[in-house]
Amino acid sequence: MNGRYPIALHILTLLNKTKSELLSSDYIAGSININPALVRKEISNLRNHGFIASKEGKGGGYSIAKPGRQITLADIYNAVKEPHILGVAKNTPNPDCPIGKQINKNIEELYIDLDTSFIAKLGTMTLEDFSNKFV
């Protein structure tokens, strides 16, 4: 997995903690210490999922679109997640081997099972819970 989840969590925590004003991509980038364009790119995705509201133009910026209690860490995971929880091999297994022939289907099933249980766990925690860890 790449670094998108922690970045998304950082952005959302900042916005959830800042209800009275808009934050610019520059400000957010300064807190995370990455490029503002990357922040805007990830926010673009999070906005499409309804977590963030944005305002263009001078004095514009970002704010949280709904209460942190209504955003679970599972929602965020679903918004940034990679296709497979335990990684994908890029090979094409040998169809003439009895194991090779069936492995992809069986791995697929396993992953669905794992992902379901992982999401159930993440679903018990909200952005508000996470935000409250900050003093």
Partner DNA sequence: CAATACTGTAATAAAATTAGTTACAATTTA
Partner DNA sequence: TAAATTGTAACTAATTTTATTACAGTATTG
Instruction: Answer yes or no: are the C-beta atoms of 31 and 6 closer than 8 Å.
Output: no
Task: Provide the binding-site residues for a second copy, judged by CB under 8 A.
Answer: 1-7, 9-10, 13-14, 17, 30-34, 73, 77, 82, 84-94, 97-100, 102-103, 106-107, 109-110, 114, 117-118, 121-122, 125, 130, 133-135
Shortest separation between residue 97's beta carbon and a second copy, angstroms: 4
The length of the chain in residues reads 135
SS3 (DSSP) at 71: coil
Is residue 12 packed enough to be buried (19+ CB in 10 Å), middle (13-18) or exposed (0-12)? buried
d(CA 40, CA 24): 9
Using the contact rule CB under 7 A, the part of the chain among 18-26, 64-72, 108-116, 127-135 near DNA is: 18-26
Would you count residue 3 as binding DNA (CB under 7 A)?
Answer: yes
Burial of 71 (0-12, 13-18, 19+ CB in 10 A): buried
> Is 21 a binder of DNA (CB under 7 A)?
no
Task: Kindly tell me which residue out of 17, 19, 41, 101 binds DNA, with binding defined by CB under 7 A.
Answer: 41
Question: 83 or 98: whose CB is closer to DNA?
Answer: 83
Pick between residue 57 and residue 134 the one whose CB is nearest to a second copy.
Answer: 134
